[in-house]
Structures are given as C-alpha cells and as structure tokens.
C-alpha cells in the first residue's frame, strides 16, 4: 500500500466562510446594481432637507399672517356692530321725534278751528285705521315661536308667516295690528334680512307677539277658521312651529312712526 500525500492544513477561520458569504451577499445583486447606478440612497438626505425647510418656512409664514389678520377681522366686525347699534339708536330718536311732531301738528289743526267737529271725528277715525293715531281697546294676542327642534328645516318662523298672520287679522275685522310693539300700516315692510325678521326695517326677535284690536271673541273665532289659522296649524303639524291665540281685555298699540308727512302744499 502506497503512502497518501499529507492533507494540507486547514485555515482556522475556514468554518466562518459560509457566514461571511451570507453577509456579503445578503442584498439582491440587482438591487445593489440599481443603488450604485443612482448614487446610493444616502445621497438624498442633503437634497430633501432644504425642501422640507422651505415648506416649513412657507407654512410658518402663512400661519403667522393668519394669526395677524384674525384680530383685525374681529376688530372690523366689532366696529361694524357698533356702527349698526349707533345707527339704530339714531333712527329710534328720529322716529320718536316724528311722533311728537305729528302730535303737535294734530293739536295745531284742532286749535286753529280750520276743521269742523265732523271733520275732526272723521280724521280721528281714519288715523286709527292708517296708523297715525295710537289706539287702545280689547282684542287678541297671537304668539308665534320656532319649533323646539331647530335642526328641522322649516321650523323657524319667517317673514311670510307673520305677513299671513297680520293679513288674516286685517281681513277678519281687526282695527289695528302690531308685531312686537311695531304698529303696522299700509307702508309697513315685513322682510327677512340676514336670518332675522324685520318690521319697518327693524329687527324683531322671537317669540313674535302679534296684537290686534277688535271684538275679542269674534276676532279669535274668525282667525281660527281663516287662511291664517290654517297656515299656522300646518306649520305646527309639519314643522313643530308653536303658536297660541288668546283674548285680551285691553291693549294699546302705538302710532306708526313711519307715517310722517312727506310733502305738503299750500292750497289757494
């Protein structure tokens, strides 16, 4: 038997070759090649950081501008509310003065002797109906209010509801009508403005109180059977609008301050 050549000595770390190979080839070769072709993912950091800084700066500027303009807008709104309030006060003063002047005019007419007793009586009767004279007497009071569930569309009382109520009272014998103390006449405007109801361009708030002078029993019965009564019943049934009507023994309705003299012409 011949002698076998001696085996070459093994490296001490030969058993680590498999682990080293796994470590060196852990990434797919195609992925490694693509990363090398694009310069590696780590080079994006310096490019992305300035972009993020610019976006953050722009966002900060926008936020700062909004923060500065918000107080200005709020102040402008407060100033506008103040101006409206001051204007309403001046309008009230002018209307009160108009009432006083009209009363003085009527007193002068009577004291001048230019009118006969029959003419004065007729003038007073006309003044009650057209709204130039204050009037006191028995009548009815109708109260309207929004439905309890404000989320229901149509549950708010609007200008059309008040117009229907007032017109039905007139049609059924009312001598004089007022809404929240505002005397109505042929020149009265009842409108919606900015979500609020206005009477003679003055805002009125709920609950809306409609007062009418006339025979209490007859006026109440007639209104319940009228188109206005049916209208309010429909609102109550379908939209939850609340309304009541009751008789009152004595109610005073003021003059309509919007009925001052616009023009005068001397005769003869």
Q: How far is CA 241 from the centre of its chain?
A: 18
Smallest Cα–Cα separation from 135: which of 260, 243, 256?
Answer: 256
Q: Is the pLDDT of residue 43 over 70?
A: no
* pLDDT tens readout for residues 175-186: 999 999 999 988
Residue 2 banded pLDDT, cuts 50, 70, 90: very low
Residue 46 banded pLDDT, cuts 50, 70, 90: low
* Crossing angle of the two packed helices 159-171 and 216-225, in degrees rounded to 10: 120
Q: What pLDDT does residue 5 have?
A: 46
Mean pLDDT of the chain: 79
Buried b (16+ CB within 10 A) or exposed e, 50-81: eeeeeeeeeeeeeeeeeeeeeeeeeeeeeeee
Smallest Cα–Cα separation from 132: which of 145, 119, 123, 121?
Answer: 123
Q: What pLDDT does residue 145 have?
A: 97
- Angstrom distance (rounded) from CA 240 to CA 141: 20
Q: Is the pLDDT of residue 259 over 60?
A: no
The dihedrals phi and psi of 81, each to the nearest 5 degrees, come to -60, -40
Q: Is the pLDDT of residue 51 over 80?
A: no
| Partners of 190 in beta bridges | 199
Q: What pLDDT does residue 165 have?
A: 98
The dihedrals phi and psi of 218, each to the nearest 5 degrees, come to -65, -40
- As a three-state string, the secondary structure of 133-202 is CCEEEEEEEEEEECCCCCCCCCCCCCHHHHHHHHHHHHHCCCCEEEECCEECCCCCCEEEECCEEEECCE
Residue 214 buriedness (CB in 10 A; 0-12 / 13-18 / 19+):
buried
Q: What is each CA distance from 35 to 25, 28, 38, 45, 240, in whole angstroms? A: 15, 11, 5, 15, 71
| 146 contacts 241 by C-beta, under 8 angstroms | yes
| 241 contacts 235 by C-beta, under 8 angstroms | yes
Torsion region of 195: left, alpha or beta (phi above 0 gives left; psi -120 to 50 gives alpha) = left
| 248 contacts 140 by C-beta, under 8 angstroms | yes
* pLDDT tens readout for residues 107-149: 776 777 767 777 777 777 777 777 777 899 999 999 999 999 8
């Amino acid at each position: 038997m011949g002698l076998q050549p001696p085996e070459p000595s093994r490296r001490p770390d030969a058993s680590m070759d498999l682990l080293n190979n796994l470590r060196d080839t852990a990434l797919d070769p195609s992925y490694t090649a693509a990363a090398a072709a694009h310069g590696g993912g780590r080079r994006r950091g310096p490019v992305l950081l300035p972009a993020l800084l610019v976006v953050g700066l722009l966002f900060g500027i926008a936020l700062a501008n909004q923060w500065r303009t918000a107080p200005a807008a709020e102040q402008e709104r407060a100033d506008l509310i103040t101006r409206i309030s001051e204007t309403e006060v001046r309008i009230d003063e002018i209307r009160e003065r108009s009432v006083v002047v009209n009363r003085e005019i009527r007193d002068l007419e009577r004291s001048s002797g230019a009118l006969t007793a029959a003419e004065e009586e007729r003038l007073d009767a006309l003044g009650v109906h057209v709204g130039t004279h204050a009037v006191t007497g028995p009548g009815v009071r109708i109260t309207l209010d929004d439905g309890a569930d404000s989320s229901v569309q149509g549950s708010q009382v609007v200008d059309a509801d008040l117009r229907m109520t007032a017109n039905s009272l007139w049609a059924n014998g009312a001598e004089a009508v007022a809404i929240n103390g505002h005397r109505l006449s042929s020149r009265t405007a009842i409108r919606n403005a900015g979500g609020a109801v206005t009477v003679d361009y003055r805002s009125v708030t709920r609950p809306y109180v409609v007062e009418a002078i006339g025979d209490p029993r007859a006026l109440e019965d007639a209104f319940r059977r009228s188109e206005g009564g049916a209208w309010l019943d429909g609102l109550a049934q379908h939209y939850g609008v609340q309304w009541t009507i009751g008789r009152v023994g004595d109610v005073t309705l003021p003059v309509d301050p919007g009925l001052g003299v616009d023009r005068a012409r001397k005769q003869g």
